[in-house]
Amino acid sequence: MRSAFFAKLRVAAAAAVVCTVLAGAGPGVAAVAASAPELPADIEKAVAARRGKTVLSKLAAKMKPGSWASFSSAGRPKDLMFVRNSRGQRFHIAGWTDDGKWDSRTGQFFYYGLRQARKFIAYSEEKNEWRVIKKHFKWPLRTSMGHIYGGNAFDGAKGIFYHYATHSNRVFGYDFAKDEWSELPALPFGRGDHGSSLEYFPELGGLVHHRSAGKGGVLHLYKEKTKTWSVLGRSQVCGYHSMARYNPCLKEMLIAGGDHSKNVVEKIDSQGKITRMKDAPVEMRIRADQLVVDPVSGRYLMFAGVRRVLYDLDSRTNKYKKAEGYSPPTFGKHELPVLASIPEYGVIMVVDKKIRLYKHKTD
């Protein structure tokens, strides 16, 4: 029975987020979420082997809610967050994105970046060091302009990292166990656009892609079983420079902001139903804003603008709250940080010149 139980949990839970406390839950909802997903036994075992022994886990354990901390890593490659194009010009691989991914099974942070050239980077918690993954897929276009926007996705159960090639209709998956890329069937439209988003949604059985289409956006769903794309629905979130984030705590996905819908927010539930939420109190677009799930409360954190004003959204009560007494660290002029939730330690990892951690404070 135990093995069957964890087999059922694997799809939903191994997406890499554990929500131990649903702070600020609405009436009739227990603050401690007994129904919150748990990590499968093999991942729990891997986490237990690292906990309290790594720089990251020790620092996270000392942090108080509402605080920031930072640490250094060994063997960080020179110009980790930069690439050079064919003319030798140097570009940052982030900016216009918030799309890092964390793998609780292996204790690694992943980010696939682009700015006229590509770089796939990974951080190992166990080794406290960075590496560059050298393998790439064949770029489907003649040029590689633009940014990645929300084009990264991760299936923690299978250990597959997905990337949508901006301005195309192509998605590629990197299998860490096989150390190889493969190409998915093309999205069902001709020329793609930049500014799109991609997220893995286990309860819907695959990937959700969000792109602009006229006055609003359109959502496509890729079903792994059938290996086909279909239209999931239309969205009032425009899809151009919008943001998307899957929430394993609540088994839903949030899409928000963009150039033509800066305050518009919608959620997609595990049945594929799209619901308009209250408008965000701040404008959100991928250029300088970030959207991430707090792994403790299950709320969405919205870091707005270069000053990183912080609001959180509880999608169950449809209420926003500005973080009081919140003081972000000073980022360098040319830093363009990338974020990922680390569920087992209850923190957000923020990456650029330094590795920073943020532990959110809820009511």
Look at the chain and count its residues: 363
pLDDT recorded at residue 139? 87
**223 close to 206: Cβ distance less than 8 angstroms:** yes
Which single residue is written with the structure tokens 């949604």? 201
Q: What is the pLDDT of residue 156?
A: 94
Locate the domains of the chain by residue range.
45-359
pLDDT along the chain (363 residues), means of 10: 40 44 34 50 93 98 96 90 92 92 98 93 97 92 78 96 94 97 94 87 98 89 98 96 96 96 97 98 92 96 88 97 89 90 96 95 86
Contact 210, 237 (CB under 8 A): yes
Cβ atoms of 255 and 237 within 8 Å: the answer is yes
Q: Are the CB atoms for 206 and 218 separated by under 8 Å?
A: no
The answer to whether 21 and 297 are in contact (CB under 8 A) is yes
Half-sphere exposure of 289 (CA within 13 A, CB side): 24
Helical (H) or strand (E) element with 121 = strand 118-124
The answer to whether 302 touches 350, Cβ cutoff 8 Å, is no
Q: CA–CA separation, 354 vs 122, rounded Å?
A: 14
CA angle 220, 232, 273 (to 5 degrees): 140
Q: What is the pLDDT of residue 306?
A: 73
Query: Coil, helix or strand for 298?
Result: coil
Strand, coil or helix: what is 313? strand
In tens, the pLDDT along 142-200 reads 766 678 899 999 999 999 999 999 889 999 999 999 999 999 999 998 777 778 999 99
- 335 — alpha (psi -120 to 50), left (phi > 0) or beta? beta
Cα separation of the two ends of the chain: 37
Question: Running DSSP on this structure, what letter comes out for residue 14?
Answer: T
Q: Which of 45, 47, 46, 40 is nearest to 5 (CA)?
A: 40
C-alpha–C-alpha distance, residues 349 and 28, integer Å: 32
How many CB atoms are located within 10 Å of the residue 105 CB?
19
Helix, coil or strand: residue 162 = strand
* Per-residue model confidence (pLDDT) at position 205: 98
pTM over 0.85: yes
Q: Which CATH number fits domain 45-359: 2.40.37.20, 2.120.10.80, 3.40.50.300, 3.90.1170.50?
A: 2.120.10.80
